[in-house]
Amino acid sequence: MPADVAASLAIAGVVAMSATLVSPTPAGLAPGFLVLMVLLAAGRWPLRGGLRLAWRLKWFLLSLLVFFGWFSPEAGATGWERAMPSLQGLGDAGLRIVALLLVVFWVAWLTSAFDREAQIQGLSRWLILLRPLGIRGDVFARRLFLALDLFAAQLAEYRAFRQRVSGSRWGRLKAGREFLIERLDHSLSGDAAPPGEGSGLSSGPPHGQTAGVLWQVTLLWLAVLAAIWLRATLPAAGA
C-alpha cells in the first residue's frame, strides 16, 4: 500500500477518534488508550513527543477544569458553596481533558509514523472532495504542514523575543501575540523558507516506507470501531 494511502486512512482514523470529544464516556475512551499502550510497548508511540504536546496545552486544560468545576450549573450559587467546585463539574472536566489528551496522543503518533510528504498527500486525498468549491487541497495541505513546522521551529526564537521585550506584562503579551501572528501569516502565505531538520512535527520514516505502519493503522481503526460499538451498546444495556 502506498504511504499516502496509509496516511489518508490514518488521518481519517484520528479524525474519527476525535469524535470522542463530543459527550465523552469512559467506555468510549478506553479502546483508544488501550491501543496507545500497545503501540508504546512496541516502541511505535513517541512518548516524549506526546507528553510535550500535552504539556503545551496545560493552560487550556486548566481552564477546562476551572470552567466546568466552578461555573457549571451544579456549582453552588452563594456563600462558601460558590467558592467550592462542583464534583459533577470536575468529573465532566476530567472526561473532556482525557478525551482531548487522547486525540493529542494520536496526533503525536500520526506525525511520527508518517513523513511530512505522506501526511500532505494523505490529507490531499480527502481535501480533493472540496475541489468543486474551488479549494485546491494539495496547496492547502502543503502550506498547512509547512506552517506547523515553521511554527514549531520558531519556538526558541519566540522565547528569545519575549526576553528582549520590556514593559508591562500586558504589553509583553500583546507584543508576543503580534510576533506569532506575523510569523504564522508568513508561513501560510508561503513567504518563509522551509525549516531545517529537527523541527519535530513531521519526523516520520523516509517517504514511501509503510512497513510496520499498516498494522498500526489497523489497530487505530479497531479502536475507533470498538469505541463506537461501546458507546452504542452500553447505554442500551444499562436501560
pLDDT of residue 41: 95
From first to last of its 239 residues, the chain has per-residue pLDDT tens of: 688 889 999 999 999 998 877 888 898 899 999 999 999 999 999 999 899 888 888 888 888 888 887 776 655 455 455 567 777 888 888 999 999 999 999 999 998 898 888 888 888 888 787 777 776 666 667 766 666 666 556 666 666 666 666 667 666 667 766 666 666 566 555 555 544 444 444 455 554 455 579 999 999 999 999 998 988 887 644 43
Give the pLDDT of residue 231. Answer: 83
What's the pLDDT at 68?
82
What is the model's pTM? Answer: 0.73
- What letter represents residue 139's amino acid? V
Among residues 9, 222, 226, 234, the alpha carbon closest in space to that of 110 is found at: 9
pLDDT of amino acid 88:
82
For residue 164, report the phi and psi dihedrals to the nearest 5 degrees: -80, -20
Q: Rounded CA gap, 190 and 176, in Å?
A: 21
CA dihedral 65, 70, 72, 73 (to 10 degrees): 160
SS3 at position 203: strand
CA 68 centroid distance within chain = 21
Q: What is the pLDDT of residue 239?
A: 39
Domain ranges for the chain: 1-115+208-234, 116-203
Closest by CA to 9, choosing from 131, 102, 137, 119, is 119
Task: Check residue 127 and give its pLDDT.
Answer: 79
Q: How far is the C-alpha of 19 from the C-alpha of 101, rounded, in Å?
A: 13
- The pLDDT assigned to 42 comes to 93
